[in-house]
């Protein structure tokens, strides 16, 4: 049983060597607002996505832009070369809910309204077009 666990861990490590991603955790905005930004760049070429994010009015787009730059830097580090123009694409982007801070706002007649301050995790995967088909 121990040998099987060891093999699956090695297989996971090998799979991670072929994936290029960056994670942003515990972002203090709601997942719904972040998904609007994520949907804008899903499947886009990286340089075009960076342009879209730079000129977006959404507050979350600045964070996603920085994360995308990080994912590209991770790709360049693993491949030991610079990414060429039009080579990389956003293969996957996911926004997951993180912990929610629960607060109470005073309300009339001694009541309290619950305020939910949501946060999220964002993961961006970048890949080249020929690897994207796998």
Residue 109 is given by DSSP the state G
* Residue range 43-87, pLDDT digits in tens: 999 999 999 999 999 999 999 999 999 999 999 998 888 988 888
pLDDT at 6: 67
Q: What's the average model confidence in pLDDT over 118-129?
A: 93
pTM of the entire predicted model: 0.83
**d(Cα 93, Cα 31) in Å, to the nearest integer?**
13
């Amino acid at each position: 049983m121990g040998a099987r666990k060891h093999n699956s861990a090695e297989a996971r490590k090998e799979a991670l060597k072929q994936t290029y991603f960056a994670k942003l955790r515990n972002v203090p905005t709601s997942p719904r607002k972040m998904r609007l930004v994520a949907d804008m760049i899903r499947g886009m070429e990286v340089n075009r996505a960076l342009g879209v994010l730079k000129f977006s009015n959404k507050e979350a787009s600045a964070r996603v832009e920085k994360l995308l730059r990080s994912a590209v830097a991770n790709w360049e580090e693993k491949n030991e070369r610079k990414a060429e123009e039009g080579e990389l694409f956003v293969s996957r982007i996911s926004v997951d809910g993180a912990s929610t801070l629960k607060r109470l706002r005073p309300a009339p007649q001694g009541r309290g309204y619950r305020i939910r301050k949501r946060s999220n995790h964002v993961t961006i995967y970048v890949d080249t077009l020929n690897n994207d088909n796998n």
